[in-house]
Amino acid sequence: MLACGKSLCRLDILYGGLTKLKDWDTTLFLFEEEYNVPFISFELAAYLGTVGEIFLPIVLVLGIVSRFGALGLSLVNIIAVISLEEIAPAALYGHVIWGLLLLQIILFGAGKLSIDNFIKLKIKES
């Protein structure tokens, strides 16, 4: 059940990144007018957020440097929450669930069916 939840989280974030890529003008508009990402320009935030939402879920699905991917997605998740002036309770709850699922990967790794685990086993054999 937890693995299913983690997969849905990854797919949802990946879908968000692909949506941003599909309509780049709207993405730039939203980052300029709607999202208040602190410390960096809206253009850089749009590029970093989109790349993170596309690349990091793929890294997690493959199980390569999973903890790094989960940490990166956690950062994207936190920035998504703090950059909105108003967030619906249901949306906030979704971000909390994603954060907890990502925290599990950060703490325990991707699991036995990951490339990370395969590499770890090969290193132990040597």
Q: What percent of the chain has pLDDT over 90?
A: 30
Short-list 55, 94, 60, 54, CA closest to 77:
94
Task: Report the pLDDT value the prediction gives residue 10, as an integer from 0 to 100.
Answer: 59
Arithmetic mean of pLDDT over the chain: 84
Number of domains into which the chain is organized: 1
Average pLDDT for 90-118 = 89
Query: Long-range contacts for 35-38 (Cβ within 8 Å, ≥24 apart)?
Result: 35/80, 35/83, 35/84, 36/83, 36/84, 36/85, 37/79, 37/83, 38/82, 38/83
Q: What percent of the chain has pLDDT over 70?
A: 87
- Measured CA to CA, the distance from residue 122 to residue 101 in angstroms comes to 27
Residue 57 burial class via C-beta count within 10 angstroms: exposed 0-12, middle 13-18, buried 19 and up: buried
Whole-model pTM? 0.79
pLDDT tens-digit map of 14-37: 667 777 778 899 989 988 988 888
Domain that holds residue 14: 2-125
Task: Report the pLDDT value the prediction gives residue 15, as an integer from 0 to 100.
Answer: 62
